[in-house]
Structures are given as C-alpha cells and as structure tokens.
Amino acid sequence: MGIRVEKSIAEDLLRNALDDKSASFRPNQWEAIDAVVNKKQKLLVVQKTGWGKSIVYFISAKVFREGNQGPTIVISPLLALMRNQIPAAERLGITAVTINSSNQEEWDEVKERIAEGDVDVLLISPERLSNDEFVRDVLLPISDNLGLLVVDEAHCISDWGHDFRPDYRRIANVLKQMPPNMPILGTTATANNRVVKDVVSQLGDIEVLRGPLIRESLFLQNIRLPDQAARLAWLSEHLPDIPGTGIVYTLTKKDAEQVAEWLNLNGISSAAYYSDVTHAGNPDSSSYRIALESMLLKNEIKVLVATTALGMGYDKPDLGFVIHYQAPGSVVAYYQQVGRAGRAIESARGILLSGREDQDIHEHFRNAAFPGGGQVNQILQALERSDGLSMPELQRRVNLTKGQIEQVLKLLSVENPAPVIREDRKWLRTAVDFEMDQERINFLVQQKTREWKEVQEYIDHEDCLMVFLSNSLDDDADTPCGKCSRCLPDGRMPETFSETLGVKSSLFLRYSEMLLIPRKQVPKDAFQKYGFHRILNRHGLEAETGRILSRWGDAGWGRVVMNGKHANHFGDKLVDAVCEMFEERWNPDPRPTWVTFVPSFNHPALVPDFAKRVAKRLGLSFQNVVTKTARNRPQKQMQNSFYQCQNLDGVFAVDSDIKTEPVLLLDDMVDSRWTLTVIAALLRSAGSGPVYPIVLATTAIGK
Amino acid sequence: MKQLSQDAQTTLLLTTHFGDKGPMEHGPLTPTEWGRFARWLTEQSIAPGELLVGNRRELLRGFQDNKISLERMETLINRGTTLALSVEKWSRAGLWIITRSDSAYPEKLTERLNHNCPPVLFGSGDNNLLNKPAIAAVGSRDVTNEDLKFSRTIGGKAAASGFAIVSGGARGVDEASMLGALEAEGTAIGVLADSLLKKSTSRIYRNHIQRKNIVLISPFSPEAGFNVGNAMARNKYIYCLSEAAVVVHSGRTGGTWSGATENLKKQWVPLWVKRTSDPDSGNNDLVNLGGSWLPHNIVEGDLNSLLGRKSTSNDEKDVKIDCIADQSNRSFYEIFLFKLKSLLKNDSMTRTELQDVFDLTPKQLDVWLRKAIESEQIIKKGTPVSYSLIQKAKGNQLAMFDES
C-alpha cells in the first residue's frame, strides 16, 4: 500500500538504467507511469511502435519491486517481442523472464526465481493465459502481490480491431474482474477511435493516453502484378536496389517457402519464417525462429520472407523495407506491418504488391475463421453425453479435423460463461445453456469483408497514401506526406522487370513440385477389415516419399490440372511435366519398372488414361491391379484421420499376382494422403516392391 | 459476465483460498474472523469495497485485533490478479458467487449461524432453491443397498411433500437422496466440501442444474480438493439450510456423526434417525443424545410431520434466547421479533396460536405485533386474522448483523 514515485526519482531510474545523465522521458511516458504507479489506474496507451511503451512498464515494474511488490506481468502475442525485450530489460537493470510453450523445461526454474523475488518482469503469451492448466500450475502460485499487469496489442480486445484473436476475449474477461487496487496498462499502436471506444466500454473505468501514430520516414507505394511469376521477377530485379535489409510478407507458409527459395536462387540471401518453420540444423521451430530473427537483426540476410507470424513486436530500428508479396487483409494490419520499417532511419520503403490469388486466399481465411453451427453442435452433443473427453476421445466421436475441433473449443471456451471448460486434459460440458452467437459471427465475417474492400481502395487510392492510412487510424495528420508514390511520382520504384527474369520465374513456378510424405501410423481401430498394424513402416507397408506436381488452381501447373479435371482429360503437357519432373529432378532409386493408379467410380477413365500415357513415355509397363470394390462416401467429407481411414477400410483390393518390382502409383489429387497410404500398404502386402506415389495437385491450402 | 461488486471483491480477497497454495504465512480470514472484522466495518460505517479504492491505512485506523494484523490484510488484499483469474474461471464455468450482503444469500444461514455463517458462497444452479423448505438427508458414503434405497425413497417423499432435499452431495446417502428427489421431479440442494466446479459439469447433475432443479453450493473455493476439515465444517450448513434432518446411517465417529451431534448440541433442527440393525452404527447413540427415531411409517405419511415435533430437550427455547441475548444486548422486543420471524418462516399463524406460543399478556402481544407490522416485518391479513412474514430482499451489508 502506498507505493508512490516522484517524477524526478523515476527519471533518475531511467538515467541510471540508460547510463545517460541527460536522458529524459518522451512525451506521455511519465504521465503513463504516474497513472499506473501513483494512481493505480487502468490505462490504455495508444502510441506508435517505437514510442517506448517498454520504458513505461519497465520503470513501473522497478518501482513496484522496490516497494516490495511482486513482478509485473506482460501479456504479448508474439514470442519475437519477448525475445527482444529480455536483453532490452537487462540493459535497464531489470530482470525479465518468459514462460511460454517453447521453454517448458525452464518453467520450474523460472517459478522458483519468481518465488524467491528474483524477477521483475514476466512475459507470457495470450495463449498461455487462456490455458487453464498453465494458469493453475504456473500463474496462480505467483499471482498474489503482482505489481502491474500489461496487455500488449490491446486492440485485439475489440471485435472492431483488425486482428481477431479469441484469447483476447478471455483476457478482457479477466481484466473485468480485476479489483480497483490493481493497475492495468494496455498498449497498442493500431487502434482507431471505434476500437478505443469499444475497449473502454468493455473494461469500464479506463483512461486513454493517445499520441500520433504516423511514421514520417516511410515511402509508400502500391503495385498491382496479378501473376506470381511477375511478382517474383519484380522482387529479384528490384530488391538489390533497396538499401538495408527487410521483410517480405506472404499470406501462406507455402508462399513464404517459394519466395525465399526464388530469391536465394537469384543471389538474394533470404529465409522463410512462419509459425512452425523448421530447419535441419535446429532442434525445434522456436529455436530456428530465434535464429532467423537474429539473422535479420544483424543484417546477415537481406530478406526474411515471413507470414504474419513475424510481426507485432519485432523490434528492428533500422528495417529498410517491408514489401508485401500479397495484399494483407486490412488496412490497419497493413499499417502495423509496414510500420515496422524506418523507425530509426531517415527513409524506408513500404511497397504493397498485390496479386490475383489474394482474393481467394482471403476468402478461404474468412470462411475458415469461424466454425459452422453443425460443427459446434456435434462437439457439444458428444461432450453432453460424457463426464469429460480428451482430444483423442473427441476425435473418434465427431467427424471433424483436429484443427476444427480445436477451433470450436477455443471459440467456445473463451466465452463467459462458456459451454465448455478444460480440466485435467479433458474437455467438460459446463451446466451453461448455450446458443451460438451467430449475429456476432456474421458481424465479424462482414467486418473482414469490409476491411478487404478497404484494402482494395487503398491499393487504387490516387491521393496521398499516408493520409489514407492515417485516416483509417483516426490520426489527425491530413497533410500529404510528400514522399509516397502518389505525392512524389519520381521517387517511385519502377513497376517493370526484365523479360528474361519473367521467363525464368515462370519456369521456376512450373518446377516447384512438392514432396509427398506418406502417412506412417494409422489411428487405432480404424482399419478393422484390413487389420493394418498401427505402425506401417515397422511391417514394410509404408509408401516411399513421392511428389506433388502443383497446388490446385495455382500458378505453375495448378491451373492446368484444374482445367484438365473439369474437362475430364489431362493433356499431354501434363504428361510432359510429370515425366520431366520424374527424369530430371527426382530419379528415384531403386527405379520403378511399372505404373499403376488409384481407381475411381466417378471418373473411371481420367486417371488410368493419364497413367497409361505416363508409363508409355517413361518406357514402363502399365498394370491395372487395384480395384475399387465398394462405394464409399467422398473422402473430402471425412474430416479427421479416424474417419478418413474408416471410410477407406475394405474399399480397395489389389490383385494377388503382381510384379515384385518398384512401382509408380498415380492419382490426380491429394489432400489427407490416406488413399495413397492405404493402396501402397495393399500393394506391399500383395508383394510389390517400393511404392512411389505421384499426384498432379494438392488441394490442401497454404500448407 | 457479471462483474463482482467492490464489496464482494473485498470479501473474497480477505476470506477465500484461491488455488492450491498450501499453507500461507498470512492466510485468509476464517468466517468468525471475517465476522468480527465486518462488524467493526459496520460500526465505522465503512463499506468493504472502500478498502480497495480509499486510503487503507487511514480507513483501518483504530482497528485492533490480535489475529488480524494490518500486514495480513494488506497481503490478502493485494491478491487482485489471483482474484481476477479465479473469478473469471469460475464464472466461465457457469458458477456464481454470493456474499453475506447479497440479497440472494440464504436467510436461514444468517439467522441460525449469525456471524459464523460463511462469508462467501459459490454455487451452480438456481439459488432461489436455497430458501425452499428442505429436509436434510445425511449418512455415510458406504452404506448398504437397503439404506441407499431408503435414501432414494426419502428423496422422492420429500419431493412429494413439497420439500427440497439438502445433502452433502457426496456418494452414498447424499447422492441417492438427491437423485431420489430429482427423479420425483422435486428439487435438491447439495452443500459440497470440494470440487464444486467439477461436480457441476458431471452428467448426473448437469441437466438438472440447467433445468433449475438442483443447486450445488460450497463455502470453499470451487476447485478445492477433498479435505476432512472442510467436509466437517460444511456439515453445519446442511442442517442450517433444512427444516428437519434425517440420519440414514451414522458411524460413531466421522462426518455424519460429528454433524449430527453438532446439530443436537446447537438445536438447529429436529433430528430424525432411521432404525437400523447394524450393531456398529451410531444411530442408537444419536437417539440417546436427543435425536428421535424416525417413524416406521414415514414413507406412507407426510414429511411435514417431521417439522412439528421438537426433539426431547426442554430447555431449547432458553438456550436459543440465551444465545441471542448473549451475542448482543437485545431488547425483549428484539428477542420477541426474532422468535416471531422464525415461527412465521414457513407458514402464517393466527393470533391465538401466537398467544399460545408466546405466553404473553394479550395486550403486550398486541403492542409488539403492531410494532412488527409498522416496521414492515410482518403483515396481518384475512379472516380469521393471521400473521405472516413479509418476504423482502435483504438490504445491504448492515442487515446481516441486524436481525430485527
């Protein structure tokens, strides 16, 4: 009780920490400290990135600690921020630690250090806060006597915010229960008036401190280039001319991989970065991501090609450019990403390339963002009939993917009251009446559609681009920036690229086949008729790694495959493509000597006709040895592994007398990989040699 | 989600064990300690919530208590984040929280336990059920099938006679009697010593909670695990929420025994004991200590008959009045009013009936009845004239110390 700090003392702390006798607070920093420390207020700070919010909570944390209170907790959605903040805190003489999913082995030690009073600031992710086991085992034992609670990216609390994160609904509900003697600091760099108003109305009794959001060093430019090949060519031609290092944002992981590979082929050092990116030299994704972030920080690579997994909180003052390979979903999200550039340098480029596929990807994102009522009911009914179900138990009771089940449970479990709750690794149905808030979901989906329309307006905007961004954030600046491509056409980057590069990038896309990694383990009890052992490779029944020629409907071969499927005929161009890939870039060893295919009742001739031509071109024998013996439901309606396998059980048969040499197994489309896995297992059981699957396209988006 | 009032927040901060923290240097206040502190606050006209916003040192000036140091209170009050995380979770699970000062807090508890009643009740289901006339059914977890069957029958019988069943919500007699009531489309109150959150999600109770047929409550944190002390401590609330209690089977030690003997000592409600052939049972001893044998034909009769007959002790009245007089220097009128209100709780009474009970001069009775009507405690109606209680919501924090 009664912890107070005078401005001069706080400033001394700052000066000591920075070892700079003339240091002083930036505008509003002291006001924020005064509000949370002296007035125990709940405060929302809206300031641009780089304003120095961490100074506010680090100094406040220090004051609370010196007054004998426990640590300050900072909730922030991105690991990148945490990694940057720990050394930053150290420089200020503050001990910061993080507990997150990637450092589980350190939790006990960290908890002990907190208990011993060794920690000033604890950084956690919103996902941790909404994990009841984590709260019970880690947070509650240390949550008495906390100094301050900081919520980063507080705009996520509002449905009007551009960034829908269910975990923030939980955070808001926790904040609502915070008694008035506990200060809270919310921070955001991207909240317009509507978002601020909504956050205030939800949390009640909260003060707002707002500063200018616009960054003056940014050169903005938008270029429409519908073809991926064109955008790749543009990047490889112009990136070397942009000073410094930076980020290229893509919408999907696959695009991140592809763009990074292309840039490296063209001598521009780059790496792909996304939520579960892995690399042979690193034990896990999280340590690899740390390594990637640090490579960019130290300018060891020119470009990090990243999905939004790299974003909020990544703190590199001299980032020279942020280029979007595909258009982002909202103007505010765009501002947030492009605003990473040019924080502590005179000028930086923010270039938005937009392509033909953007629309479809965003539509897919929108449709996948919320579960349908049917999915919700399936899950609730399964839980109602039980005293709690674990995740694997649920998967066997509902025909939904693990991802869908997780999404539904997440969405339901952040409500308050909620129809489901997690206790001891099981999901329980609470005694709460529940009806889907369809209105809210419609609102959120429409919101995303509106935001996407606004992005189109931004791309085609004819006046100052910075003023457009500024208006969407309700920032006051309405004077043209004088440097964007509309204000100063002479300062633009060229929109063209050389024809040679264009041809090269088209070929690159056509050669961008993917590995097809077959399944090796089958779900328990899924194959009652076939009786497969659960671990296929232990019995020599697994398929070899195969190839996928393209992504369905995509640039490269994807569009050709789509047209062929619709015309019920795959042309000779695709035969050439498959054979060229097989001979020149794959060359499996031992080499297959014969070709067979996956039969279908609906398109009985399409695949065998194609397989026959491929066999002929490669000089292999064509054998029709797999038969479909029973009609089953369309595999695409089966949503999780258990149902997908069950739907295939006993559906195919393989002739008993087949060649014992290695074989190519052809199909047109792949999604879950189970059909290929099952037929390969049947072929191996019947005595074939190794089975190499080839498919023309994958329908799995973004993977 | 409903936000807790600041008064409720303070009460929880000072009295609740959050999570599983093991022994604390400055543990939460016990119900009695909270009772003392709350009374002091009332005397100073300080609402508990003020401690969260005002200058605590200033507000608490003059508060002296050997057990409740300012340091202890400060430590407890600073558990704000713990409170928020816990309350958010409990409310997410559909649980509610009421404190003594809430209108939903059951009057039976404040009346019978005064400042020993639990400062906070956690619950799931319809809290209106807590004020329903109820029969307590108590007994061991492990009993014979016959006793289980009997418990179920008593549950059904209670439902048919318009009573709720109140029990400890454990396996055995508790569960069987509650399910018996629910199956007969009656209602039940489960007073749990542990795991409220989990029990409220269990298949056997979940639907009944949603249909408002059952309320589960606990004076302990909804996530508290089993603990003998808590199980013993909650027995008194089972009796105090009932009008009469039926002991199906008791040992000579253990939870059922200690609860039943406590009830006999405190004379909260008539105690009826089922006859048993089990020589190891404590049933016989309970009757020797003042309980009554449950009539053989009770399953054919009306459970209302269990309310009328008082247990054997003659000096019950004196004990009760002594106890009131002892606690606060009440006037005779206040004692009269206390007694009157408990008489009228379930039914109205005529003037003659009251005259018989109170044994006052008619004039004195009239004066006091009029006073009670004027202060809006009771109303008079109909012919023949009868008196009944005014059912009103309880007011603020002050009301709990002021039964008049």
In angstroms, the separation between the Cα of residue B118 and the nearest Cα of chain A is 22
Whether A423 sits inside 8 A of B197 (CB atoms) is yes
What tokens does A505 get?
A: 């990038």
Match domain A511-698 to its CATH number in 3.40.50.2020, 3.20.10.10, 1.10.10.10, 3.30.420.10.
Answer: 3.40.50.2020
Q: Does A117 touch chain B (CB under 8 A)?
A: no
Whether A145 sits inside 8 A of B87 (CB atoms) is no
Contacts of A388 in chain B (CB under 8 A): 201
Report which DSSP code applies to A546: E
| Nearest chain B residue to A149, by CA | B81
Interface of B with A in 223-262 (CB under 8 A): 223
**Residue B349 CA neighbour count, 13 Å, CB half:** 19
Whether A416 sits inside 8 A of B1 (CB atoms) is yes
Which of B77, B81, B203 faces A143 most closely, judged by CB atoms? B81
Handedness of CA A446, A452, A455, A460 (dihedral sign): negative
What are the residues whose beta carbons fall under 8 Å from the beta carbon of A513, sequence distance 6 or more? A547, A548, A549, A550, A581, A585
β-bridge mates for residue A698, sequence order: A551, A670
Write the CA distances from B154 to A380, B183, B207, B247, B303, integer angstroms: 34, 12, 22, 11, 9
List chain A domain ranges. 7-210, 218-358+459-500, 373-435, 511-698
Position A305, amino acid: V
Residues in chain A predicted with pLDDT less than 70, given as ranges, are 1, 79-81, 311-313, 701-703
Whether A430 sits inside 8 A of B19 (CB atoms) is no
φ, ψ (nearest 5 deg) of residue B169: 70, 15
Whether A178 sits inside 8 A of B80 (CB atoms) is yes
Whether B81 sits inside 8 A of A388 (CB atoms) is no
| Nearest chain A residue to B208, by CA | A431
Q: How many whole angstroms separate alpha carbon A68 and alpha carbon A62?
A: 10
Three-class SS of A260-316: HHHHHHCCCCEEEECCCCCCCCCCCHHHHHHHHHHHHHCCCCCEEEECCCCCCCCCC
Q: How far is CA B100 from the centre of its chain?
A: 11
| Nearest chain A residue to B9, by CA | A179
| Nearest chain A residue to B200, by CA | A431
| Nearest chain A residue to B201, by CA | A430
CATH classification code of B121-308 = 3.40.50.450
Q: How far is CA B185 from the centre of its chain?
A: 23
Contact B175, B137 (CB under 8 A): no
* Alpha helical stretches, state H, A527-605: 558-567, 572-580
Q: How many whole angstroms separate alpha carbon B254 and alpha carbon B238?
A: 16
Distance spanning both ends of chain B, measured CA to CA: 35
Q: Are strands B292-293 and B378-381 parallel, antiparallel or unpaired?
A: unpaired
Contacts of B84 in chain A (CB under 8 A): 174-175, 177-179, 182
Contact A44, A199 (CB under 8 A): yes
- Intrachain domains A7-210 and A218-358+459-500 with the same fold: yes
What are the residues whose beta carbons fall under 8 Å from the beta carbon of A403, sequence distance 6 or more? none
Q: Does A56 touch chain B (CB under 8 A)?
A: no
Which of A178, A384, A421 faces B93 most closely, judged by CB atoms? A421
What tokens does A325 get?
A: 């390979």
A78-115: b or e for each residue (b if 16 or more CB lie within 10 Å)?
bbbbbbbbbebbeebebbbbbbbebbeeeeeebbebbe
Interface of A with B in 123-142 (CB under 8 A): 132, 135-136, 139-141
Contacts of B206 in chain A (CB under 8 A): 384, 429-431
Whether A140 sits inside 8 A of B203 (CB atoms) is no
Q: How far is CA A436 from the centre of its chain?
A: 26
Whether A177 sits inside 8 A of B4 (CB atoms) is yes
Q: Does B2 touch chain A (CB under 8 A)?
A: no
Using DSSP, state whether A152 is helix, strand or coil.
strand
pLDDT score for A543: 94
What are the residues whose beta carbons fall under 8 Å from the beta carbon of A291, sequence distance 6 or more? A279, A282
Contacts of A430 in chain B (CB under 8 A): 92-94, 200-201, 206
In angstroms, the separation between the Cα of residue A290 and the nearest Cα of chain B is 31
List chain B domain ranges. 6-92, 121-308, 325-401
Q: Does B188 touch chain A (CB under 8 A)?
A: no
Among A568, A546, A542, A570, CA closest to A558: A570
For B363-384, the pLDDT digits (tens) are 888 888 888 888 888 888 877 7
pLDDT tier, B392 (very low <50, low <70, confident <90, very high otherwise): low
Match domain A373-435 to its CATH number in 1.20.1250, 1.10.3470, 1.10.10, 2.60.120.
Answer: 1.10.10
Q: Does B87 touch chain A (CB under 8 A)?
A: yes
Contacts of A389 in chain B (CB under 8 A): none
What tokens does A134 get?
A: 């984590």
A7-210 belongs to CATH 3.90.79.10: no
Cα Rg of chain A, angstroms: 28
| Nearest chain A residue to B123, by CA | A431
Whether A135 sits inside 8 A of B210 (CB atoms) is no
Which of B1, B84, B86 faces A417 most closely, judged by CB atoms? B1
pLDDT score for A703: 42
Q: Does B96 touch chain A (CB under 8 A)?
A: no
What are the residues whose beta carbons fall under 8 Å from the beta carbon of A204, sequence distance 6 or more? A176, B3
pLDDT tier, B1 (very low <50, low <70, confident <90, very high otherwise): low
Whether B88 sits inside 8 A of A145 (CB atoms) is no
What tokens does A256 get?
A: 């991140």
Report which DSSP code applies to A636: G
Q: How far is CA A675 from the centre of its chain?
A: 28
Q: Does B79 touch chain A (CB under 8 A)?
A: yes
CATH classification code of B325-401 = 1.10.10.10
For B271-323, the pLDDT digits (tens) are 999 999 888 899 999 999 999 999 988 878 788 888 865 444 433 444 444 44
Please name the residue that has the structure tokens 């206790």: A423
β-bridge mates for residue B350, sequence order: B386
Which of A179, A418, A433 faces B210 most closely, judged by CB atoms? A433
Q: Does B301 touch chain A (CB under 8 A)?
A: no
Whether B81 sits inside 8 A of A386 (CB atoms) is no
Q: What is the mean pLDDT of residues B109-118?
A: 91
Among A192, A149, A194, CA closest to A172: A149
Contacts of B53 in chain A (CB under 8 A): 180-181
φ, ψ (nearest 5 deg) of residue A207: -90, 155
What tokens does A442 get?
A: 């419609």
pLDDT score for B354: 84
**Residue A420 CA neighbour count, 13 Å, CB half:** 29
In angstroms, the separation between the Cα of residue B11 and the nearest Cα of chain A is 12
Contacts of B83 in chain A (CB under 8 A): 177-179
**Does the pLDDT value for residue B400 go beyond 60?**
no
**Residue A295 CA neighbour count, 13 Å, CB half:** 18
Whether A418 sits inside 8 A of B74 (CB atoms) is no
Sheet holding A121-124, edge to edge: A96-98, A121-124, A72-75, A149-152, A184-188, A42-46, A207-210
Whether B93 sits inside 8 A of A177 (CB atoms) is no
Contact A219, A469 (CB under 8 A): no
In angstroms, the separation between the Cα of residue A81 and the nearest Cα of chain B is 23
Handedness of CA A240, A242, A243, A247 (dihedral sign): negative
Which of A141, A170, A180 faces B21 most closely, judged by CB atoms? A141
Write the CA distances from B392 to A28, A47, B120, B343, B399, integer angstroms: 52, 52, 21, 17, 12
φ, ψ (nearest 5 deg) of residue A277: -65, 140
Which of B19, B81, B88 faces A136 most closely, judged by CB atoms? B19
| Nearest chain B residue to A139, by CA | B82
In angstroms, the separation between the Cα of residue B72 and the nearest Cα of chain A is 12
Please name the residue that has the structure tokens 């109150």: B189
Say what the ipTM of the complex is.
Answer: 0.77
CATH classification code of A218-358+459-500 = 3.40.50.300
Whether B89 sits inside 8 A of A176 (CB atoms) is no
Whether B201 sits inside 8 A of A143 (CB atoms) is no
- Omega before B270 within 30 of 0, i.e. cis: no
Q: Does B183 touch chain A (CB under 8 A)?
A: no
Among B109, B64, B81, CA closest to B9: B81
Whether A179 sits inside 8 A of B209 (CB atoms) is no
